[in-house]
Chains A and B, each alone.
Chain A
């Protein structure tokens, strides 16, 4: 089944007034423009309906921005209640304090926190806090890792000048020797190391940290006085309700959360240790709607649900059933498919398919079955998925592999 007529009509209109029609990760060209819908009408739980009225079982969760499912009643109730009082004021609302107290209670190493709207707002800010604290300039990141849309790290190609990345160095994920080499050679210049909990590049298999990676990273940062920043924007809430560092058993100095935090409402947070509190106050931070009480109410409710229902463990368990089910169906049909990365946010990878032709074909056929499987980005398992819906997904996946095998 091809992309619907209404999606095309809207895109036609958009292309006249929005450069490229849709930009960024939701641009049709980032996915499968011949079969994916371009616009969504509504969503509920773990399904969404596109503007042509087609209903999809969703495995992207708004590219990670939803954890508990679309229109979760408790989150929406909290937002509705706050809306009666207003959203953005001259001063922050009480919910800002309550949310900060909640987050610093949940995240074990966090002694303070700040809020913004997007992951990028705070990954960039965190790097500046580290620079302020250390008086050093260099940030180290893993090659191919995504940390946002700012010029020091964005994956795009345009609008850059050489100095944008003059103070950003890269090492290969899991290569502790290379990292050690960088730090020892530049020991008095490295301000921070920013990493995601595991390596989840676009267009490629996810890579988990090897045994000893995180303890090695922590030791190197301590040895060379480097601030360790955890970019938990994508994984936060999906591996451990108390932050992904607990899943991998280490402790960062700063961590950034967004995506799942507001369960569909735009909010991000950076938490930190006390020794960085002073530096954090020297790096200017604000935004027009950053005190948005609606998003903060959503985040508060979302966190309460996560803790109460052990949501991270739930999505890991659901993901495990889903991933092992898909792998078995693939194997039964003669395909060697691995669901890489943690089960709550897997990325499928066919053996010897580094250019992704086979995966694109698989996702294209899955679209015909109403399964929203993305070939270029890791998937997200919603906590709104239940056993029946996972079974239904696997049943449809059987059809997909039958077609692929034929």
Chain B
């Protein structure tokens, strides 16, 4: 979810890095929970710093230049700002390790539903921050709002995404709390992974049967368009 504090004005030039930092921290905390390292996960907390630097740790033990954070997602490694690591080098290394481990999920064969949920959460977090704050994204939705429910093979509800009347986006896992305006059904987990990672073709895959869309099409259209904007801007993990 996007908290009230996050609704504050954000420099438009840094919305993408802010979306990325938020989603990485959200995902890392969740990954730590899943792997029994809850305490370590609590350290992940994003903050934009001056001079195009971004911190992923509440104690600023893991700070990247913006472009290095992008690079780390793209390639799997980029040097953090060493001077910040000296405060607690062991913690810095542990946090880096978590990010590296989490990144491997993007390439896992036979992804489990639990891991898919993590990817969903990571990407929906990025979407919520981006769609709430990015000036062009906001303009695209105007008065259009509602809840989008994501399912796998018509039975399993993966999660939901909600645009509230005030323009703020929220997401959640599992059954939505209100009636959806749009239901997006992925045929299987692999197609869901592709969809979540922006790898599906919005004009072809619904025809080839990989994904089905029901309900309020203008909301689905806008959601898809902004998702494609986001995936153009965000770095994607490369093997």
Contact = CB atoms under 8 A, between A and B. Distances in A.
A356 interface: yes
A17 interface: no
Interface in A110-163: 157-158
A94 interface: no
Interface stretch (B28-36, B86-94, B207-215): B207-215
A11 interface: yes
Contacts of A30: 217
Contact of B203 (A21, A34, A158, A360): A21
B104 to A, nearest CB: 32
Contacts, number: 49
A355 interface: yes
A360 B185 CA distance: 15
B207 A38 contact: yes
Contact of A355 (B203, B206, B216, B222): B216
A157 B204 contact: no
Contact of B221 (A8, A11, A157): A157
B181 A27 contact: no
Interface size class of B (residues with CB under 8 A): 20 to 34
B205 to A, nearest CB: 9
A356 B221 contact: no
A157 B216 contact: no
Given A355-B216, A356-B215, A357-B215, A33 B206 contact: yes
A262 interface: no
Interface string A5-24: 00010010001000111010
Contact of A158 (B204, B218, B225): B225
Contacts of B183: 357
B181 A29 contact: no
A357 B214 contact: yes
B140 A157 contact: yes
Interface in B78-128: none
Contacts of B62: none
Contact of A20 (B146, B204, B216): B204
Contact of A21 (B204, B222, B225): B204
A376 interface: yes
A357 B180 CA distance: 10
B181 to A, nearest CB: 5
A34 B216 contact: no
Given A355-B146, A355-B181, A360 B214 contact: yes
Given A34-B212, A157-B140, A157-B222, A203 B217 contact: yes
A348 interface: no
Contacts of B209: 34
Contact of B206 (A8, A28, A360): A28
A15 B218 contact: no
A355 to B, nearest CB: 4
B202 interface: yes
A212 B146 CA distance: 34
B203 A29 contact: yes
A258 B105 CA distance: 54
Interface in B130-188: 140, 146, 180-183
B166 to A, nearest CB: 20
Contact of A15 (B204, B213, B221): B204
A33 B207 contact: yes
Interface in B184-239: 202-204, 206-209, 212-218, 221-222, 225
Contacts of B212: 34
B130 to A, nearest CB: 15
Contacts of B181: 355
Interface core residue of B180, B203, B209 (most chain A CB under 10 Å): B203
A288 B203 CA distance: 30
B206 A157 contact: no
A29 B206 contact: yes
B203 A20 contact: yes
Contacts of A23: 203
A28 B201 CA distance: 13
B202 A29 contact: yes
Interface string A311-331: 000000000000000000000
Interface in A62-114: none
Contacts of B208: 8
B48 to A, nearest CB: 26
Contacts of B140: 157
Contact of A157 (B182, B203, B225): B225
A88 B9 CA distance: 58
A33 B212 CA distance: 9
B211 to A, nearest CB: 10
Given A157-B225, A355-B181, A11 B207 contact: yes
B121 to A, nearest CB: 25
A29 B208 CA distance: 11
Contacts of B217: 30, 203, 356, 376
Contacts of B180: 355
A203 B202 CA distance: 19
A354 B213 CA distance: 16
Given A11-B207, A157-B140, 6 more contacts: A29-B213, A38-B207, A157-B221, A203-B217, A355-B146, A360-B214
Interface of B: 140, 146, 180-183, 202-204, 206-209, 212-218, 221-222, 225
15 contacts: A8-B207, A8-B208, A11-B207, A15-B204, A19-B203, A21-B204, A28-B207, A29-B206, A29-B213, A30-B217, A34-B212, A38-B207, A356-B215, A357-B183, A360-B215
